[in-house]
Amino acid sequence: MTADLQTLLSQLVAIDSTNPDLVPEGKGEGEISLFVERWFQDQGIPAERQQVAPGRYNVIARVLGTGNGRSLLLNAHLDVVGTAGMQNPFVPRIENGRLYGRGAYDMKGGLAACMVALLKARDLQLAGDVILTAVADEEYASIGMQHALKTISADAAIVTEPTELALCIAHKGFTWHEITTTGKAAHGSRPDLGTDAIAHMGRVLGKIEQWQQDLQARPAHPLLGHGSVHASLIQGGQELSSYPEKCVLQIERRTLPHEEVPQIEAELQALLFELSHADASFAVQHQTTLHRPGFEVPAEAPIVQVVLQEATQVLQHPPALQGMTFWMESALLQQAGIPAVVFGPSGAGAHATEEWVELESVQQCCEVLVRSIRAFCQSV
């Protein structure tokens, strides 16, 4: 790994960019966005911060081509998750070829690779533009990416989330739902007057288990397997000696790329209707609180083939084409009409108390990005 790339990664990890929507005292992307913007400006590369919410910033940097080639977008996020249980999370430590620290793996390794790749792209005399979107809030609601996509487009994108130097061409999406059962409050000694909202929610939980079993019985996606559903959070009741008037359940449905929100809502509503139809006293409401689409790009897509070819040269073997279970912002890029592939460094400890990235893999990722930029953005 070159000293400059290693130094840059260490500097990025040393900046606390904890997402304040996850941790109330989190510092957000203000300091790190200023660092990234100034780093590019010092290199003579145009870059600007975009404020997407108070104290929350993207950085957009560009290397412009001559105008007669394909444009390529590189993407990484600036924010990190919380640091509870970690010792010195923002003091980067290098041991045995690994760099330790919060965000080293998820995903400042990928961010550093993008930044150096953009710097090297400046000297390639490209036909097409190269754009870096270093975005806020990926770890919560993706307000940074959604804001960037209002004004930025490209012919293709590479997202540098960590993939162990494999090519991710599919990942799951998710929907979040809130279900409320309503009972009737009464003294615990008067079952004739009370209706137990928590007991009614128990029937819902039974249906959720049946739904999960049904999902497992459906045909599997070749890269992602099956969709799933689970109960995440539950709250109800007023006090020990009263019949509970209300119970609220929040569930998560992990989705496959072809599954749409209306279909999922209809399946859930059918389960709840069955319970309501069987018991006139069963009162239930449902709402979808958040949803994110799944992602899939054809293996034969030009950007996939370019990264596959260039990664094969750098790694000296073809990287695996795989699906991943967790959600990434590649789905938002695809939704905006930008074909994307996910390719990033190796390591471990995303969201864990010990996090590290393999330094050699960061260098290899950067080399693949530079070669892919050259191949994709040349004259066509």
- In this predicted model, what pLDDT tens digit does every residue of 195-242 receive, in sequence order? 999 999 999 999 999 999 999 999 999 999 999 999 999 999 999 999
Q: What is the pLDDT of residue 98?
A: 97
| Dist. CA 32–CA 292, nearest whole Å | 26
**Mean pLDDT value of segment 95-107:** 97
Mean pLDDT rounded to a whole number for the chain: 96
Q: What residue ranges define each of the domains in the chain, with the CATH number in brackets? A: 3-171+294-377 (3.40.630.10), 173-292 (3.30.70.360)
- In this predicted model, what pLDDT tens digit does every residue of 255-299 receive, in sequence order? 999 999 999 999 999 999 999 999 989 999 999 999 999 999 999
Split at pLDDT 50, 70, 90, the class of 379 is low
DSSP secondary structure of 84-141: TT-SSTTS-EEETTEEESTTIIIIIHHHHHHHHHHHHHTTS--SS-EEEEEES-TTTT
Residue 2 has pLDDT above 60, yes or no: no
Split at pLDDT 50, 70, 90, the class of 14 is very high
Split at pLDDT 50, 70, 90, the class of 96 is very high
Residue type, 31: E
Residue type, 258: H
Single pTM value for the model? 0.92
**Mean pLDDT value of segment 344-354:** 96
- In this predicted model, what pLDDT tens digit does every residue of 73-91 receive, in sequence order? 999 999 999 999 999 999 9
DSSP-assigned beta bridge partners for residue 242: 187
Do 172 and 259 meet the contact criterion of CB atoms below 8 Å apart?
Answer: no
The alpha carbon of 357 is separated from its chain's Cα centroid by a whole number of angstroms, namely 18
Split at pLDDT 50, 70, 90, the class of 328 is very high
Q: By three-state DSSP, how is residue 248 classified?
A: strand
Max Cα-Cα span within the chain:
82
Angstrom distances, CA of residue 157 to CA of 39, 66, 71, 130, 336? 22, 19, 9, 10, 11
- In this predicted model, what pLDDT tens digit does every residue of 105-114 receive, in sequence order? 999 999 999 9
Q: What is the pLDDT of residue 1?
A: 54
Residue 5 has pLDDT above 90, yes or no: yes
